[in-house]
Amino acid sequence: MDPRLDLDLLRTFVAAIDTLSFAKAAQAVHRSPAAVSMQIRKLEETLGHRLFERDTRNIRPTADAEILLGYARRLIRLHDEAVEAVRRPDIAGQVVVAAPDDYALSLLPGPLRRFGMLFPKVDVEVVCQQTTLLLPALDDGSIDLAFVSRTRGVTGDLIRVEPMVWVASPDADLAGRSPLPVALYEPHSLARVRAVQALERGGIPYRAAYSSPSLLGLLAMVEAGLAVAALARCSVPPGVAILDQRHGMPPIENLEVVLVRSAASHRPACDALAQIIRDELTPPIV
């Protein structure tokens, strides 16, 4: 008899992988730790393979568990999308979602793809501007949702904590130059502030040689070998080198990426996109 994979068992399995704890997985799937342990054992019996190594305090996924994980996530997502596609309300209208171009390029495609499949009658406009311009647009209601870096006075749902890294052309030997030529985002940008603070804490003489409000502008300077730049890790493209303390570069404080909504955004289409963004991008609680 062919084994049949039960979605409830797969949900518990994924929760156990994400939390590396049957107790925390139990909280995520609203079951007791004993029930979670029993479900994992049943899944192992179904597949005929051990999925976790256990001791008195810890669990560790096996190689077979790592193989199963990708399939389990896809099966769960496909199931949930099928249910949503049939049960969703007949939502139409427009949503204006905005982000700086580094976040737009790296974070938005996944949620927008899912939203477009589930809500094909909703028109989506994407605005790419630096955070300093997006905040006033949220206040006046000209955009509905925005990804921005959390700064003082900005409230919203935490989507992720994003590391910042130094990047340079792999062909340029800049890390030891003094003063160090640096390409920075526009004045008052949090990413610029964090980069400058890191250089000053590290006692590194630098020259703010180039400036741009856009990711593409900074990358043009980096790829030309003219400067190093500090970027969100999610936006670093292939082909550039990441510099760290081994290259004499100081660590940079992380960015908190938040989803902020305007007062005018409390409409079904905006609610649906905001929920999909949280589902797609918010990391599991560990």
Read off the pLDDT of residues 19-78 as tens digits, 9 standing for 90 and up: 888 888 888 888 888 999 999 999 999 999 999 998 767 889 999 999 999 899 889 888
- Once rounded to an integer, what is the mean pLDDT over residues 117-143? 89
What's the whole-number mean pLDDT along residues 106-134?
89
Q: What is the pLDDT of residues 236-277, one digit of tens each?
A: 998 899 998 888 899 999 999 999 999 889 888 999 899 889
Residue range 140-147: mean pLDDT, rounded: 92
CB 75 within 8 A of CB 5: yes
Average pLDDT of the chain, as a whole number: 88
Alpha-carbon gap, residue 221 to 205, rounded angstroms:
19
Class of CATH domain 93-158+256-281:
alpha beta
- Residue 4 DSSP SS3: coil
Percent of the chain with pLDDT over 70: 96
Q: Are 107 and 234 in contact (CB under 8 A)?
A: yes
Domain pair 7-87 / 93-158+256-281, same fold:
no
Q: What residues does each domain of the chain span?
A: 7-87, 93-158+256-281, 164-253
286 confidence band (pLDDT: 50, 70, 90): very low
Q: Determine the average pLDDT of the residues in 80-92.
A: 73
DSSP 159: E
Domain 7-87 - what CATH class? Answer: mainly alpha
Say which residue the tokens 């790592």 belong to. Answer: 66
Q: What is the pLDDT of residue 89?
A: 64
Strands 157-162 and 180-184: unpaired
pLDDT over threshold 80, residue 147: yes
Q: Is 196 exposed, middle or buried (0-12, 13-18, 19+ CB in 10 A)?
A: middle
- 186-210 mean pLDDT: 92
Q: Which CATH superfamily is domain 164-253 in?
A: Periplasmic binding protein-like II (3.40.190.10)
